[in-house]
Amino acid sequence: MRQGIIQSSKMFLVANRLEGKKVESSIRYLSDMEAVFMDKVAFSALDPQQPVYEVDCYFPVADNKSGGLFFGLTRIFPGKVGGEFFMTKGHFHSNNDTAEFYWGIKGKGLLLFMDKTRKVWAEEMTEGSVHYIPGNTAHRVINTGVEMLSFGACWPSDAGHDYGSIEKEGFSARVVEKDGKLIIIEE
C-alpha cells in the first residue's frame, strides 16, 4: 500500500514533472555554499560554477498565507568537497512550529535532523522512503550515493525558511566518507 502510493507519486513527478503547473526553479552552485563545507582547501580547488542541487517548487497560494501547502522537488548532484558529500543548505522554518514531509524518489542519502538544543539524528533516504520532519527541527539532505538523489517535499505555505542560524552555527554533525566508509562526525 505504502509502496503503491509512492510509486504513483514517482510517476507523477518523474514522468510529468509538474507539467502544466507554474513552477519556480532554482539552482545552488558551489559558489553559494562556501560556508557549508568543512574543507576550505578542497573547496577552493573546485569549480565554483559546479551545481550542487536544484529545486522545482510549486506554490499554489501566496507565500505566508496560512492553510495552504507548498510542494518541492529537489535533486542533489553526486559529489564531495574533500570527504564531505554534497548536501542542501538546510534550514529551520521561520514559523518555527511547522512540520514537513520529505519522501525519497531516486538515489540514496541521509536526512539529517537537528532540534533547537542541537541534538541531531538521521534517517536513511532511499527510493520510496517517507520522512516526517517535526516543527522546531532543522533539516538537511545529504547525497551519499554516486547518482543524483531526488526527493519530494510538502510543507505549510506559512512555514517560511530561516537559513540564518544554520549559516552561522551549522549542524552539529557532518557526514563524510573516509577510507571508503561513511562516517558521521559529531561536534
Does 153 engage in binding with ligand PAN (CB under 6 A)?
yes
Does 150 engage in binding with ligand PAN (CB under 6 A)?
no
73 makes contact, choosing from Zn ion, ligand PAN, none, with CB < 5 to 8 Å by partner type, with none
Does 55 engage in binding with ligand PAN (CB under 6 A)?
yes
- Cα–Cα distances (Å) from 138 to 2, 22, 30, 64, 68, in that order, read 26, 27, 21, 19, 21
**In angstroms, rounded to a whole number, what is the distance separating the alpha carbons of residues 137 and 98?**
9
Residue among 6, 13, 37, 72 that touches ligand PAN (CB under 6 A): 72
Taking contact as CB under 6 A, which single stretch among the options 38-46, 86-94, 142-150, 176-184 is the one that binds ligand PAN? 86-94
Does 69 engage in binding with ligand PAN (CB under 6 A)?
no
Q: What angle do CA 28, 172, 70 make, to 5 degrees?
A: 45
Q: For the chain, state the CA radius of gyration.
A: 16
What is the size of the binding site for Zn ion (CB under 5 A)?
1
**In angstroms, rounded to a whole number, what is the distance separating the alpha carbons of residues 67 and 28?**
29
Length of the chain: 187
Q: Tell me which residues in 86-115 interact with Zn ion (CB under 5 A).
A: 100
Does 74 engage in binding with ligand PAN (CB under 6 A)?
yes
Does 157 engage in binding with ligand PAN (CB under 6 A)?
no
Does 30 engage in binding with ligand PAN (CB under 6 A)?
no
Does 90 engage in binding with ligand PAN (CB under 6 A)?
yes
Does 171 engage in binding with ligand PAN (CB under 6 A)?
no
Sign of CA dihedral 172, 157, 32, 96: negative
Q: Which residues of 20-58 are buried (b: 16+ CB within 10 A; e: fewer)?
A: eeebeeeebebeebeebbeeeeebeeeeeeebbbbbbbe
Residues lying near ligand PAN in the complex (CB under 6 A): 55, 72, 74, 88-91, 100, 139, 153, 155, 159, 161
